[in-house]
Structure 1
Amino acid sequence: MIAFVRGLFVNKTPAQVIVDVNGVGYDLHISLNTYSAIANMEKGQLLTYLHITENGQTLYGFYEQLEKELFLQLISVSGVGASTARMMLSGMKPDEIVRAIVQGNAKQLEGIKGIGKKTAERLILELRDKMNKQSLETTLLPGITPQHSIENDAVNALVSLGIARPMAEQALKKALKSHPLSETTSLEELIKLALKNI
């Protein structure tokens, strides 16, 4: 089991990062929260979780231990796979997810792509007591705006999260209509807005 990788962040997108560890490149799937934290960093350490299925192996990366713990709790719930858990951590901040579960706010959880009413209720039922006993707090760094087209990056990030390109573009258009871009709009904010329109 790989516990963490430490090295150079060779290539970063809001959904993936390649970490060069002494000449070996590890391809890690990440959430928007982790991307926000490492966006300004050239190197660092990411905690990892190796997800093995009959179709392949996927390495997930996390900037903070608390985000990794929440990811593991989410995938322990029947009907929540690793990609859905990553989608949840990209659509909401970890502390928002915890709050929604602890407060029994199924409606808020249903706002995330891939989470239906039954799954939201199951998450609350299975995790509420566990989360009440723990204090999962997390500090997240703000996202940064890349030099090239932020809209393009947002669409590419949505596609790499498993959303069809036409749907991603449509969601982004809706998001931009209700929240026009400003100089302070970060890529992370834009993706979260688009995710709410899917």
Structure 2
Amino acid sequence: MIAYLRGAYTELTPTAVLVECAGVGYSVAISLTTYTALSGQKEGKILITEIIREDAHLLYGFATAAEQDLFRHLMTVSGVGPNTARIILSSYPPHELTSIITLGQIEPLKAIKGIGLKTAQRILVDLRGKLPALEEDASPATTIPTTTSRGKKVQPLDTTTPQEAVSALKMLGYPEASAQKVVRELIASDPTISVEELIKQSLKLL
């Protein structure tokens, strides 16, 4: 079992990183949280969780042990697979998601695409009290993202941002036409939005 990979990040997108180790390239699926952490780095260490199926051998990567631990806990909840867990972790950073679960806040979970009332309830029931290492630093989720990024420090929009956001949303399973529509609307409301924030807000609206 692969515990981690250390090497050069030869390609990095909001949903995946290609890590070259000893001449071998490993395609690793990542969340938006890990993408943000790896941005600007040329090489490093990324923690790995393997998902082995009959038709696929998938690698999911994490910049921190806290995010990896949350991913593994989410996977124990009925109805939450690896892609859904990745979408959840792309919507909220580890400390904020931990606060949501610890405090039993169901609305932020329901706001995530693909998470209905029953799944949100199962996440809260199954995981509350099971995140001791993270709950120590948990605080009320008072900064839950809204539908815009006004007031936040973001990078200026460049010409690749819309395409990168749409591509990431497609990789997460959303129809291209719907992704393009939401991305256009968000950019129209905030032309300075960063690609990370653009994807986060799109996940709330799709």
Matched residue, 1:68: 68
Pairwise mapping of residues 48-197 of structure 1 onto structure 2 (< 5 A)?
A: 48-131=48-131, 133-135=132-134, 148-177=159-188, 179-182=189-192, 185-197=193-205
> In 1, Cα distance between the equivalents of 2:68 and 2:79?
18
Q: In the TM superposition, what whole-angstrom CA distance separates every residue of 1:14-60 from its partner, at most 9, and x where no partner exists?
A: 00000000100000000000000111000001000001123311100
| TM-score, with structure 2 as normaliser | 0.87
> In 2, Cα distance between the equivalents of 1:6 and 1:145?
31
Aligned AA (1:176): I
Query: Could you say what secondary structure the match of 2:28 adopts?
Result: strand
> In 2, Cα distance between the equivalents of 1:60 and 1:145?
29
> In 2, Cα distance between the equivalents of 1:161 and 1:33?
14
Q: Once superposed, what is the RMSD of the aligned Cα atoms?
A: 1.9
Segments of 5+ residues of structure 1 without an aligned counterpart are none
1:144 CA displacement: 6.0
> In 2, Cα distance between the equivalents of 1:28 and 1:180?
31
> In 1, Cα distance between the equivalents of 2:166 and 2:107?
25
> In 1, Cα distance between the equivalents of 2:123 and 2:7?
35
1:96 CA displacement: 1.6
1:143 CA displacement: 7.9
> In 2, Cα distance between the equivalents of 1:151 and 1:172?
7
> In 2, Cα distance between the equivalents of 1:54 and 1:143?
42
Query: Could you say what secondary structure the match of 1:51 adopts?
Result: strand
**Does 115-124 or 54-63 show the bigger shift?**
54-63
Matched residue, 1:39: 39
Aligned AA (1:180): D
1:24–1:36 CA distance, 2 compared to 1 (3 A): same
Matched residue, 2:5: 5
> In 1, Cα distance between the equivalents of 2:33 and 2:55?
27
**2:98–2:134 CA contact under 8 A, matched in 1:** no
Segments of 5+ residues of structure 2 without an aligned counterpart are 139-152
**1:175–1:197 CA contact under 8 A, matched in 2:** no
